Structure 1
């Protein structure tokens, strides 16, 4: 989609956001046109037109813009305005569309399970935290099956069991926490569709539990995945929705939401917005007074914010700022967190390449590749390919040639 004309990409994204096929959109356009007394072409012709619009071969002509805006429930100017900049949906619009279809958390009409008490919630809370700690040192491929078993078990307890009005929101919060870490693990394993479905479940559970910090955290996790997949426009929308939800959350929750917004803006190339978000993240963490806040934010600290700052500088091609930060933080980073260490080393390697230091970049890349060999993570695999690809133009350097011989780009 990245090579499509902006209007074509916008139209395709609008349809996909609704979950419609081109045939389904053609049907809706036909119905909208007939309701306005417009003589419509054959349905097959409409499908071909949609295909041409979404590939940039043709631009919609009257009355199609009016019908498309009617079907997508937006103004014509919003859909067909400045083609160089994608229109942003408001946080409210993003949140209205993010929840899963149906109600996967709806209790069964006839419940035959046991009554769930707070002791069960306490046990589940301990188990989900143990899963988070395991994720610190293990890759997604190793954890995805146990993570989803745990999530499914928690959802079944909620749907099949009985619980008081006090236990119900606490159980929903645990389900949201399970969905967040299970979605994160699925994303790390490269199962992005599964991850997004799981995140949506978690957002629904967090909202039902009235837990704004958790809802923001899961929205931010989804924004982070979408950013890394390259859909930066949608990523910024999700990140802004996470910020809206977190407006009254503890400082660490707001810091994390701003951090993920900074990353989305950086990947979009908006340096000013990224720098502002980094500043807001630092301020939110500095003003945090809720040190006994949610357990899942245990890892949000000044060091992690510095890492993101350096990543943003790297993405914006400012290596002279990125390299000192990464070098300093990585010198003190917990070596047992192999996946994160490898990922952060990959950013340092890229920053060194941008600084025209290929020999030093090779040394960093070698360390990154050596420690990540046994990490079952799609993210480290993809980052390794990025690093090797960025080194490829420097094959006149002996160290680069030797590294690429050890780790061919096709592997």
Structure 2
């Protein structure tokens, strides 16, 4: 059996209290549920863990700071809870002692960054795309370690790239990866991590002189403000993002920003501005089924996606057209977009509740809850729970 360390700090470990407890409660799990999840993880990955009785003691003592978490258990918990090591543990990692003379190490890292060519940047972007695909199919919870390592490698390459010709392609790759990481953090309920990732994405976009990437990061960051209860401030940020993009950027990104503006207007209680922004989004979206631009790979948006978004926004306004828009989007949604399907069923439940159609709302809430559980989406599960209280 995989046991635990004795009480008290050990080398490379530190006590855990609020970090683990916060991550567990964000998932809506009891301590007993966490024990079961650890055991199921062990069965899936053919690894040993302690007995059920011992795990119950471990979880309690980890959260109360009476027992340290071994690296092997920390790996399991990170995958289950969708958190970073720093978020899981309550103390900072140990810091390596500085060397007497750091010039050799500095020059070595500069030389390594200088060697990052087109093939390496492509490898970075391919890794981001793989993480994006895994995220939309399986959710973000199990990708925290991979994304953390990916961002660290990109930051390291950028920090030690000296000349602009070397910095720009790496900065672009970092901007795209950081924006993805931020949205994954929102989905996992890690709001502070999301905000920091957006700030990193904006700095990288500035470094790359890439207004499209900057505008996209700003637009997504506005959702953090909205969900924190400041939709009017988020709306200002979205409109500033539109100004940043101007008229020279991608039409698909412009449509995305208009749709984001519409949603923020709905939350801010501005129905007329909301409808104008929706009309602008529909007028801007390029025709056809293609949902991505070669210059903006992080945007997935076509007429079908926008119809779902429009239905969501109309539902926020209590508009009677919301249900028909959302059912039209449900017919064409990509089946690999599991989190999007969860959001669509949640939107339909919300629209049916606005019409007092409680049986239909309950049907979609059940489907949304199942899909949100598959992806480990704290954000979608929170929406489902809030709507369920209205049944």
Whether TM exceeds 0.5 here: the answer is: yes
CA distance in 1: counterparts of 2:144 and 2:257, whole angstroms: 25
CA distance in 1: counterparts of 2:119 and 2:369, whole angstroms: 44
CA distance in 1: counterparts of 2:303 and 2:227, whole angstroms: 23
- Whether contact under 8 Å (1:251, 1:287) holds in the other structure is no
CA distance in 2: counterparts of 1:283 and 1:213, whole angstroms: 19
For each residue in 1:239-292, what CA deviation from the matched residue of structure 2 results, as whole angstroms up to 9, or x when unmatched? 111111111211011111111111111100101111111111122213899953
Residue 294 of structure 2 aligns with which residue?
292
TM-score using structure 2 length? 0.68
For each residue in 1:158-184, what CA deviation from the matched residue of structure 2 results, as whole angstroms up to 9, or x when unmatched? 223x46432311111011111101111
Distance 1:287 1:166, change over 3 A: farther
3-state DSSP of counterpart to 2:285? helix
CA distance in 2: counterparts of 1:137 and 1:224, whole angstroms: 22
Residue 196 of structure 1 aligns with which residue?
195
What root-mean-square deviation, in Å, do the aligned CA atoms of Structure 1 and Structure 2 show?
A: 2.1
Residue 159 of structure 2 aligns with which residue?
159
3-state DSSP of counterpart to 1:258? helix
For each residue in 1:20-76, what CA deviation from the matched residue of structure 2 results, as whole angstroms up to 9, or x when unmatched? xxxxxxxxxxxxxxxxxxxxxxxxxxxxxxxxxxxxxxxxxxxxxxxxxxxxxxxxx
| Structure having the higher Rg | 1
Residue 383 of structure 2 aligns with which residue?
383
Residue 174 of structure 2 aligns with which residue?
175
1:73-92 alignment, distance < 5 Å? none
Number of aligned positions between the proteins: 281
CA distance in 1: counterparts of 2:177 and 2:371, whole angstroms: 28
3-state DSSP of counterpart to 1:269? coil
CA distance in 1: counterparts of 2:212 and 2:384, whole angstroms: 33
Residue 268 of structure 2 aligns with which residue?
268
CA offset at residue 370 of structure 1?
Answer: 2.8
CA offset at residue 222 of structure 1?
Answer: 0.3
- Whether contact under 8 Å (1:343, 1:380) holds in the other structure is yes
For each residue in 1:74-131, what CA deviation from the matched residue of structure 2 results, as whole angstroms up to 9, or x when unmatched? xxxxxxxxxxxxxxxxxxxxxxxxxxxxxxxxxx984422122222111111111111
- Whether contact under 8 Å (2:369, 2:384) holds in the other structure is yes
Distance 1:277 1:367, change over 3 A: same
Q: Which moves more between the two structures, 207-216 or 142-151?
A: 142-151
CA distance in 1: counterparts of 2:371 and 2:328, whole angstroms: 19
Distance 1:371 1:287, change over 3 A: closer
Residue 278 of structure 1 aligns with which residue?
278
1:301-312 alignment, distance < 5 Å? 301-312=302-313
CA distance in 2: counterparts of 1:125 and 1:149, whole angstroms: 14
- Whether contact under 8 Å (2:305, 2:333) holds in the other structure is no
- Whether contact under 8 Å (1:227, 1:263) holds in the other structure is no
Residue 205 of structure 2 aligns with which residue?
206
CA distance in 2: counterparts of 1:379 and 1:367, whole angstroms: 15
CA offset at residue 373 of structure 1?
Answer: 2.8
CA offset at residue 374 of structure 1?
Answer: 2.8
CA offset at residue 237 of structure 1?
Answer: 1.2
Q: Does 1:112 align with 2:108?
A: yes
Residue 222 of structure 1 aligns with which residue?
221
Q: Does 1:370 align with 2:343?
A: no
TM-score using structure 1 length? 0.65
3-state DSSP of counterpart to 1:166? helix
CA distance in 1: counterparts of 2:287 and 2:387, whole angstroms: 37
Segments of 5+ residues of structure 2 without an aligned counterpart are 1-101
CA distance in 2: counterparts of 1:225 and 1:303, whole angstroms: 25
CA offset at residue 209 of structure 1?
Answer: 0.6
CA distance in 2: counterparts of 1:123 and 1:363, whole angstroms: 43
CA distance in 1: counterparts of 2:389 and 2:356, whole angstroms: 15
Distance 1:239 1:286, change over 3 A: same
- Whether contact under 8 Å (1:350, 1:390) holds in the other structure is no
Segments of 5+ residues of structure 1 without an aligned counterpart are 1-107, 392-411
Q: Does 1:187 align with 2:168?
A: no
CA distance in 1: counterparts of 2:297 and 2:372, whole angstroms: 27
CA distance in 1: counterparts of 2:336 and 2:327, whole angstroms: 18
Distance 1:291 1:204, change over 3 A: closer
Residue 73 of structure 2 aligns with which residue?
none
1:295-334 alignment, distance < 5 Å? 295-297=297-299, 299-318=300-319, 320-334=320-334
3-state DSSP of counterpart to 1:265? helix
Residue 394 of structure 1 aligns with which residue?
none
Q: Which moves more between the two structures, 130-139 or 204-213?
A: 130-139
CA distance in 2: counterparts of 1:291 and 1:112, whole angstroms: 37
1:2-81 alignment, distance < 5 Å? none
